[in-house]
Amino acid sequence: MLGKQLRSKVSKLFNSRAAYSTLGALTLALVAGPAQGSINLVTNGGFEQTLLPVATQFGDRYPQQQVLGWTTDSYSFVFTPGSADFGGATDEYFLDDEETIPEQIMLWGPHNGSANGLPATSPVGGNFLGADGAYLPGKISQVINGLNPGHAATVSFYWAGAQQYTYDGDSTERWIVSLGEETQETAAYHNRDHGFSGWMHQTFTFTPAHSTETLSFLALGTPDFTVPPFSLLDGVSVTTPEPGVWGMGVALFAALGLCTRLRRKASSSAA
């Protein structure tokens, strides 16, 4: 008698469509929407935190300016809002032999003669980076910690193609993006003379092998340094589901499997 009552209760519990559907829905939500409960592992992805509050070259080649979290030996610049086509960014070179007049790097835009639509900032606002893709190209890198080895990590960012002011001709711009040993790249943008591509949003999915990997961006462009192609970058993020979210997913999958087994067992016993 007791066995019959127990089987009846188990059968009612695990044959409940509402309970079973709810459990299944929760599991699917975790699978379909891992961004909920994910964390951004990038430091200073908007390039707002700098040593100097002005537009300048940065990195190993220009030690006066550093960008928190990022390193580079490339010919790359921090542009503050509105400076890209008005005022420009100071670089490592000088206009005179006495090294008293610093050179300013600018991009073609509405404030210096090209109606190409270059805005004061990227879609996320504030500072953005510009890297010459033909002269002294090099990686812009950051060490990323807290990745889940073997699980997907999403790298997203805004980017654009631009050209250096005072130079003429068509060009192409793109970014080569790496996380650890895995590399992906944006499509090359074909820029017209004095042009600007407009800001574009890019998302890549990587599967890191280790919990700590190096994220890097390498600007490449054509034809060469005689028509300097500039790749712009802002709003960088690397997101991965929190360990707790993965744990919940595993637990729900296990519970769903247990439900199925118990339902089958209860049905078999009732028969």
Task: Please tell me the distance from the alpha carbon of residue 131 to that of residue 156, in angstroms, as a whole number.
Answer: 18
Is 165 domain-assigned? yes
What average pLDDT is seen over the chain? 85
pLDDT of residue 27: 46
Q: Is pLDDT larger for residue 35 or for residue 85?
A: 85
The answer to whether residue 167 is domain-embedded is yes
**AA identity, residue 57:** Q
Per the structure, the count of domains in the chain is 1
Predicted confidence (pLDDT) at residue 12 exceeds the cutoff of 90 = no
The token pair at 148 is: 């889940």
pLDDT of residue 152: 97
Residue 58 — pLDDT band, cuts 50, 70, 90? very high
Domain of 93 in residue numbering reads as 38-241
**Residue 227 domain flag:** yes
Is residue 252 one of the residues assigned to a domain? no
3-state secondary structure 85-107: CCCCEEEEEECCCCCCCEEEECE
The CATH number given to whatever domain includes residue 192 is 2.60.120.260
User: What is the number of other CB atoms lying within 10 angstroms of the CB of residue 93?
Assistant: 11
Structure tokens at 111: 């404030």
Is residue 150 domain-resident? yes
- The pLDDT tens digits of the residues spanning 165-222 come to 999 999 999 999 999 999 999 999 999 999 999 999 999 999 999 999 999 999 999 9
Residue 12 Cα distances to 58, 97, 129, 249, angstroms: 67, 89, 61, 25
Instruction: Determine the pLDDT at residue 245.
Output: 45
* The pair of three-digit structure tokens given for residue 228, joined into one six-digit string: 């300097």
Look at the chain and count its residues.
271
State how far the alpha carbon of 111 is from the alpha carbons of 78, 147, 167, in Å: 18, 43, 16
Residue 258, domain member (yes or no): no
Nearest to 219 by CA among 211, 210, 229: 229
- Over residues 95-119, the mean pLDDT reads 95
pLDDT (average), residues 140-149: 98
End-to-end CA distance of the chain: 16
Pick 225 or 43 by higher pLDDT.
43
The per-residue pLDDT for range 72-94, each reduced to its tens digit, is 999 999 999 999 999 999 999 99
Using 50, 70 and 90 to split pLDDT, how confident is the model at 36?
low
In a domain, 118, yes or no: yes
Q: Tell me the chain's radius of gyration from C-alpha atoms.
A: 26
Task: Report pTM.
Answer: 0.78
Is the residue at 9 inside a domain? no
